[in-house]
A and B are shown apart, each in its own frame.
Chain A
Amino acid sequence: MQPLTPRARRDPAPSRVAYRLHRLWLTPLFRALLRVGLPAFALTFAAGIYLSDTGRRAEISQTLASVQKTLEERPAFMVREVVIEGATDLSQAQVAALLPIDLPRSSFDLDLGALRAAIGAVDAVAGADLRIVSGGILSVRITERRPAVLLRSAAGLEILDAGGHPVGPASRRADYPDLPLVAGNGAGGQVAAAQMLWAAAAPIAGRLRGLVWIGERRWDLVLDRDQRIRLPQRDPVTALERVIALDQARDVLARDVVAIDMRNPQRPTIRMTAGATAAMHETRLLEQKTRLLEQRAAGQ
């Protein structure tokens, strides 16, 4: 038998412990645990211990806040001036009221999206374009709504754009002589039709007072001397053109007429004043008498 105490020479074989450790190290789960899990745990643990003190946490948040503040208040990020472009006096004051006044201010504090939404909510503004340009300038480029019609309602005069969106109040009709004046319930939604009628009524523009939307379905043209042209629901422009043609041929509107009713296009009707009617009856009687006298004279 070999001696039980081995000779003292290097044994190439790993010891049982070394062998087992090596096998353990080759176990994927153990390896992952040791290489990822252990450092992650140590890190979390250390961070947890460090942060468990309230004073330290406050200190850290304070430091962070101050760092953030210094960064934000660097001169490169400050907004010192506001430039509004494309605004007329109609909207200038309203837009200016919405913009921040406590300048200079850090551009990080400005919420351009919210500002843009707020400016866009102003009636007279169709769209706004905000940007911070170099030199610390907040540039506001405004696209205004274009006035299309004046709407007279119980609340007063109001300017509408082509889409029927209110632009702003108007104090006097005379300030906007070239805008059509419309009235009536729901007239605000009919701006395009009103504009077409206004254009078609150009020959009688001198006499035209405004347009009235009747019963939310058709238009009346109101002229001076309280004359009205009642237009049909369908094809009002053609009917208006017929009236204008009639006027140009027979001068109808200059006569003693209260209303020209075109509501039934096949049967245009004219309503006259009481005096005119009486005068017409008298003329007819006179004509009849004259005819009788002539017949009698011929019979004799």
Chain B
Amino acid sequence: MTDLYQAQRTMRNMRRAAMQRGVIAILDVGTSKVACLVLRFDGPDKFREADGVGPMAGQSSFRVIGAATTRSRGVRFGEIDAMHETERAIRTAVQAAQKMARVRVDHVIACFAGAEPRSYGLAGEVPLHDSVVTEQDVARVLAACEVPDFGEGREVLHAQPVNFALDHRSGLGDPRGQIGNRLACDMHLLTVETSVIQNLLYCLKRCDLELAGLASAAYVAGMASLVEDEQELGAACIDMGGGATGISIFIKKHMIYADNVRMGGDHIASDISKGLQVPLAVAERIKTFYGGVVATGMDDREMIEIGADSGDWDKDRRTVSRTELIGIMRPRVEEILEEVRARLDAAGFDHLPSQQIVLTGGGSQIPGLDGLAARILGQQVRLGRPLRVQGLPQAATGPGFASTVGLALFAAHPQDEWWDFEIPADRYPARSLKRAVRWFKDNW
């Protein structure tokens, strides 16, 4: 656990250093695109009065000064598959964003969608030394959480205290200074595959960038596209990406569950490619321009030229009706949504007080998706777009950039995680000077 602590704390320090320098890069390594934003932090109140943006999610403290998107290469299911290809894609995006920002960035906060996230709910309980809860007690109760055995080759990505309870009172946001006998806490732990992180680290290192933070794409997409009351009352964010569909459930402004369906828009495109016998690029284009999930009578008459380059007249002049296209797409979309439904059911989403579902990500732009999703996921479905942030180009404001924008918010104002609290004194190695200092602090 100390190891993880050190790594995450190092990243936090990097982030602080970057904030001091005022420039930080956001890197969203997705299956279909790699997006890079360069943020400049100018202090919290610089832009607030200019256009009435409140300080709600910390988005008023920064400004996007560089943005670049490039087609992703070598990424499958939100995981890096061909490292050198991905490295090139990252390089392209970072260089273009730097060029636009006219500034060099050294620190980067990255997110990725895949890596088989698994959520764990942890609980811990400690008796209080004296009846007032101090920062040390919070640290102790966090340390007392029983960490499950999540197996070899997995790494903790997020560990957020979700709830504190003092004696019989639960639902405390901040127990410090309160009086009681026993302090309990619930923590949400998200683990991912270590190898994925290592691959990403390797790519970033090859690009001369220092990692200042890591986040799960599902989590940050939820941060960006759920509005405040949805986060408070309970909502799920479905981030329909290219290679993976992320699910994150929020309540009381904390993520309590995250999961990942390893299917996405690329699978729809590959279905089209197979069904219509066209190259993947053409299939992608057809999906983007003519795609849909609900066929109407009009669609029977709308013929799409799919073309080819074979030289054979008959093959090169093929057309399909939009209904056929929808017929290919719909089962796959349904399959994805069914899978999401299954994950949500497994997580106990139907026990939440509010069951709002927000669809975001590039895949959510399929026309008619909200109707289909309402049938499968429940009545409260809406399409979500990311929060508006200062200086973001128009091209990067679509739902496909939900996790990018969310990552920017995460960079500006990360939630407290386990490693943001102090290490309890008894967890320090013996004979440590820090431990002595801590003892003096506590007893004098």
Contact = CB atoms under 8 A, between A and B. Distances in A.
B104 A23 contact: yes
11 contacts: A13-B88, A14-B92, A16-B91, A19-B91, A19-B95, A22-B95, A22-B98, A23-B95, A23-B104, A23-B208, A26-B103
B91 to A, nearest CB: 5
A23 B104 CA distance: 6
Interface in B200-216: 206-208
B414 to A, nearest CB: 26
A14 B103 CA distance: 17
A26 B23 CA distance: 13
Nearest to B94: A19
B388 interface: no
A125 to B, nearest CB: 69
B436 interface: no
Interface string A5-22: 000000111101001101
Contacts of B91: 13-14, 16, 19
A26 B70 contact: no
Nearest to A24: B104
Contacts of B92: 12-14
A27 interface: yes
Contacts of B89: 13
A20 B207 CA distance: 8
Which of A2, A23, A28 has the largest count of B CB atoms less than 10 A from its CB?
A23
B104 A11 contact: no
Contacts of B413: none
Contacts of B88: 11, 13
A120 B99 CA distance: 71
A20 B91 CA distance: 10
A20 B206 CA distance: 10
Contacts of B206: 16
Contact of B98 (A13, A26, A28): A26
Nearest to B104: A26
B102 A26 contact: yes
Given A13-B88, A14-B91, A22 B207 contact: no
| Chain B interface bracket (under 10, 10 to 19, 20 to 34, 35 or more) | 10 to 19
A12 B104 contact: no
Given A11-B88, A19-B95, A23-B208, 9 more contacts: A13-B92, A14-B91, A20-B208, A22-B95, A22-B98, A23-B95, A23-B104, A26-B98, A28-B104
A23 B98 CA distance: 8
Interface string B10-29: 00000000000000000000
A20 B102 CA distance: 15
Nearest to B73: A13
A172 to B, nearest CB: 92
A81 to B, nearest CB: 67
B26 to A, nearest CB: 17
A195 B230 CA distance: 107
Which of B70, B94, B95, B206 has the largest count of A CB atoms less than 10 A from its CB?
B95
Name B's interface SS.
Answer: helix
Nearest to B98: A26
Given A14-B92, A22-B99, A27 B207 contact: no
B104 A27 contact: yes
Contacts of A12: 70, 92
Contacts of B85: 2
Given A11-B88, A13-B88, A19-B95, A2 B82 contact: yes
The 7 closest A-B pairs by CB, nearest first: A13-B88, A26-B104, A13-B92, A19-B91, A23-B104, A14-B95, A13-B91
Contacts of A11: 88
Contacts of A19: 91, 94-95, 207-208
Contacts of B207: 19
A11 B95 CA distance: 14
B199 to A, nearest CB: 16
A136 to B, nearest CB: 61
A75 to B, nearest CB: 58
Contacts of A26: 98, 102-104
Contacts of A13: 88-89, 91-92
B107 to A, nearest CB: 13
Nearest to B74: A2
Contacts of B70: 12
Contacts of A22: 95, 98-99
A19 B94 CA distance: 9
Interface in A6-61: 11-14, 16, 19-20, 22-23, 26-28
Interface string B56-73: 000000000000001000
Contacts of B103: 26
A2 B83 CA distance: 12
Nearest to A27: B104
Interface string B256-281: 00000000000000000000000000
A30 B182 CA distance: 58
Nearest to A11: B88
Which of B94, B104, B207 has the largest count of A CB atoms less than 10 A from its CB?
B104
A118 B339 CA distance: 108
Contacts of A16: 91, 206
A259 B12 CA distance: 112
A86 B206 CA distance: 91
A27 B70 CA distance: 24
Contacts of A28: 104
Contacts of B102: 26
Interface in B81-134: 82, 85, 88-89, 91-92, 94-95, 98-99, 102-104
Nearest to A20: B208
Nearest to B82: A2
A140 to B, nearest CB: 66
Contacts of B95: 14, 19, 22-23
Nearest to A18: B95
A28 B23 CA distance: 13
